[in-house]
Structure formats: structure tokens, C-alpha cells
Amino acid sequence: ATDEKGNIHCQNLTCRTQAGNRTRGHTQCIEFKCKSCCTAASLDAGDAHKPRDPCKAHGVESVSDHQYLAGAVVVPAAPAPAAAARRVNGRAAGTRALAQPIGPLWRDTHQKADDAKAAVESLKTRRLEMDAREKKTCELVIFYKAGVMPLVLAEYIDTYPRLQLSSLPDLVAGLKLGSESRLDHWIAGSWKTIQISSILTVENDRRTLLKLRPSLLEEIPLSECPGLTEELTRQPRVHGRKRPGDLDESGSPAKVARPHSMADAAAAAHAQPVIDLATDTSTVAPQRPLAPAAVISHAVPAARRVQNPAPATTSSRPETWWIQNLSVSQYDSGWHDIRALQDSNPKYKAEKAAFPEVFGHKYSKSTVNKYKTLWDSDACKALRDKYIAMGDVPQASMAHLLHAMKG
């Protein structure tokens, strides 16, 4: 039906304007309706699960008979459409499918992907937990019987770096320890008698040496502890500021008097008595008096047992000459200690921070780099092993090594 001007009316007879006149339809509409009625017809077709062609005039999409039955009818997966067919009526094909229930085939694939992702995350979590556990695992070397090789245990310390032996029930039961039991603990270069309730400081990169005592007044002779010398050799050198494992039982680092100069320090290193660790330290008398609070450690140079870095001097000449007074062995082991300190403590990650803790002197980048270059040179590599093997003797100083390189 048309009006006097030739315009068609909406095919919905109940569609009227507020004035009561027939609403104008669209000549290009598939049902010659107005936009509101065309849109409503599309929705009704969807609710009734009936197909309906798209209306380009009003921009209404088509409705298929299976589109709303996806939850009940399993549609086999179709190959991806060609690039030219991916858009329908100016919109991406399949956009309405996001609101549809996922079919069984897609649901299984989605579930497998979720399971795989959860498995990967679980593995990452487990690896992190294992790494954290490894950092808190320490080795205990226990000499429990005379003439018998020690017991080496890798124990997880949940209170790391603090440890009470009484918190390890399996260890206490296996060694038949009681509240009155006593053990000898190697710390800061000497043996100290402790109880199982004593608080120890342990490190995951340093073995903790323990020796059971048959009674309070009796001990296992050091000469009857096989493998003790090797274990003591593995212990890190005591240097600079004491590491947590080198504190005494009161929790304070042992005090060591600082030499007035590196020349005195080098002389003190050569004159310092060396304690034979394979014999009982209680029977060895020092060759000269020591400070009451000094701690004698195995083959530790005095220059590296300085408590604090050297104080600033009024002289304009930088104190870099002291390196030549060090033995080649001291210089080499000092850099090994710097690397170990950088790996064990983030505070000393920078070489500038770790250097004074080991050598006891201010870090000078130009001097350090100069000696590094000499140390890595071919001429030095051919000689340094020989001087390292000579040990801490005056003839094996860095000055002698540099002189040999020139000659």
C-alpha cells in the first residue's frame, strides 16, 4: 500500500505514528518494513529458530536455523574461510559465536590448554621452592667415633642461617644425643664445646664441622679423626669483617689488632706461627704473645685478617704499593675470596665493596686493573703457578713475581 505521494507503508499494520498514521516503510527492505519492525522481526526469527535473510537497507544481519542450536547440535569444525569470505555484510564473520556455548570439541581443546598452562606454572613454582630449599641446605660433617670416617649429612635448615641441633630430631635420635651431650664445633680457627641447644650460624657453601665428645672432660683426639685435615683445608679463610659463620659463641666477631702498615703486616704474616691442624691445638704453644682476643686461623695471612679498612692518610701518595708486599698466594686466594663474597652476599656484589673486606685497603680501580692486566698476561701465567706453590714466604711476593716477569 502506498500513500498519495507514492510512498509505501510499513507492512506491519499495527505500526503507527503518534498521530495515528501509518508508518513509512523502506522500499529496499526485504519485508518493506520500517527499521524498528525489521529489527524486531530479526529478533523474533532468532527466538523461533527460523532463518531470515539479511536486510541491507536497515543493516540487520541474517539469522540461520542452526545458529541458536549450537549448544544442542554439534557442528563439525570447518576449515578456515578464505580471506575474501571472512567478512559478511561489513562485519567479521563469527563475531556472534563468542556469546555461544563452547561445543565439546572446543571445550576439550580449551581444557587441555588450561591443564598444560597449569602444569607449567606448577613446575615453575616447584622449581622456585626447590631453589629456595637448596639455599637453606647445609652439610654437617660429624666425627662421631675415633678412627672412623666422619658422617656427612645434607640437612635442610628451616631457620637458616641459625641452627640448633636439637631441632633435628632424626639426627639427635640417630646419634643418641641428650640434653647433657657435648660436641666440639670448629669455628673461627678453633674448637669450641657446645650443647645441642646451642645456636650455631651455618652457611650453605661452608661445611659445618662437629666432633662428638664421649663426656664433658673427654674428647676424640684429633689424630684419630680421619679426613679432618682435608675438611679443615676446605674451610674458607677468615678475612676482613667476619662472615656470619666466623662469629664466636657470643655473637661478636673476634678482635684482631690492625698492623700499622702493610710492611708490618707482611712481616707479621711470615712470622705468624702456623698451627698444625692435625694435632690438638690445646698442646701447641705460640712462638710469640698474641692479643688476648686474637683468633688463630689456619694459614690465614695477617694482612687479610684486618678488622676494618685502613684509615685515610694525610699523604697525597695513594697506598697502592702494599700489593707488592703480598705473596702471590695471598693475592691469588684473595681474589678467590672476593668472588665467593660476591656470590654469597648481595651487599658485596660490586668489586669495589668486596675488595676492602678481603684486602683491608681502599679500592683503587686504576691500580686493580693494572695488576689484573699483569696477572692475566702470558708472561705472568708462565710464572705465577710456581710462586703460588712456594706459599706465603718473602721470596714469593708480588714484587719478586713482577721482577721475574721483567727479567
Least confident of 28-42, 133-147, 379-393: 379-393
Domain presence at residue 394: yes
Neighbours of 160 (CB within 10 A): 17
Domain presence at residue 310: yes
Task: Give the pLDDT score at 156.
Answer: 93
| Rounded-to-integer distance, Cα 26 and Cα 1, Å | 12
Structure-model confidence comparison of residues 328 and 247, the more confident one: 328
* Domain boundary, last residue among 70, 101, 132: 101
Strands lying side by side in the sheet with 208-212: 151-156, 137-143, 208-212, 182-187, 190-195
Domain presence at residue 7: yes
| Rounded-to-integer distance, Cα 257 and Cα 240, Å | 12
Least confident of 208-222, 269-283, 347-361: 269-283
- Crossing angle of helices 365-375 and 351-359, rounded to 10°: 80
DSSP assignments along 133-153, one per residue? HHHTEEEEEEE-STTSPPEEE
Domain range enclosing 49: 1-101
Helices (H), 154-252: 169-174, 228-234
Q: Are 324 and 285 in contact (CB under 8 A)?
A: no
Q: Are 193 and 182 in contact (CB under 8 A)?
A: yes
pLDDT band at 2 (very low <50, low <70, confident <90, very high): low
399 has a pLDDT exceeding 80 = yes
* Domain boundary, last residue among 36, 67, 101: 101
- Crossing angle of helices 351-359 and 328-344, rounded to 10°: 130
pLDDT band at 114 (very low <50, low <70, confident <90, very high): confident
Domain presence at residue 318: yes
370-397 mean pLDDT: 86
Which of left, alpha, beta for 227 (phi over 0: left; psi -120 to 50: alpha)? left
The single-letter DSSP state of residue 69 is G
φ/ψ of 286, rounded to 5, equals: -70, 155
Domain presence at residue 212: no
Structure-model confidence comparison of residues 307 and 394, the more confident one: 394
* Domain boundary, last residue among 63, 78, 101: 101
pLDDT band at 284 (very low <50, low <70, confident <90, very high): very low
Residue 36 host element (H or E)? helix 35-47
Convert the pLDDT of each residue in 162-203 to its tens digit. 999 999 999 999 999 998 999 999 988 889 999 999 999 999
Task: Give the pLDDT score at 50.
Answer: 87
Q: pLDDT above 70 covers what percent of the chain? A: 68
Structure-model confidence comparison of residues 139 and 112, the more confident one: 139
Structure-model confidence comparison of residues 35 and 108, the more confident one: 35
259-270 mean pLDDT: 41
Domain presence at residue 268: yes
Least confident of 52-56, 259-263, 335-339: 259-263
Convert the pLDDT of each residue in 30-60 to its tens digit. 888 898 999 999 898 888 888 888 998 888 8
Domain presence at residue 193: no
Cell numbers placing 86: 571472512
Task: Give the pLDDT score at 154.
Answer: 93
Q: Are 107 and 136 in contact (CB under 8 A)?
A: no
Q: Under 8 Å CB-to-CB from 269, ≥6 apart: which residues?
A: 301, 302, 303, 327, 330, 392
255 has a pLDDT exceeding 70 = no
Least confident of 45-54, 126-135, 218-227, 271-280: 271-280
Neighbours of 282 (CB within 10 A): 9
252 has a pLDDT exceeding 80 = no
In DSSP terms, 163 is beta-bridged to 200
Q: What is the pTM of this model?
A: 0.35
Task: Give the pLDDT score at 126.
Answer: 87
Convert the pLDDT of each residue in 69-89 to its tens digit. 444 444 555 555 554 444 444
Domain presence at residue 226: no
Task: Give the pLDDT score at 111.
Answer: 84
Cα–Cα distance list, 199 to 165, 171, 214, 268, 382 (Å): 8, 16, 21, 34, 47
116 has a pLDDT exceeding 80 = yes
pLDDT band at 372 (very low <50, low <70, confident <90, very high): confident
Q: pLDDT above 90 covers what percent of the chain? A: 25
| Rounded-to-integer distance, Cα 331 and Cα 387, Å | 11
237-244 mean pLDDT: 49
Amino acid at 311: P
DSSP assignments along 279-310, one per residue? S-GGGPPPSS---TT----TT--GGG--SSPP
pLDDT band at 240 (very low <50, low <70, confident <90, very high): very low
| Rounded-to-integer distance, Cα 155 and Cα 141, Å | 11
pLDDT band at 300 (very low <50, low <70, confident <90, very high): very low
243-254 mean pLDDT: 42
Q: Please provide the average confidence, as pLDDT, over all residues in the chain.
A: 75
If one counts the domains in the chain, the total is 2
In DSSP terms, 201 is beta-bridged to 162
| Rounded-to-integer distance, Cα 286 and Cα 212, Å | 27
Residue 337: which of 231, 216, 243 has the closest Cα? 243
Convert the pLDDT of each residue in 149-172 to its tens digit. 999 999 999 999 899 999 999 999
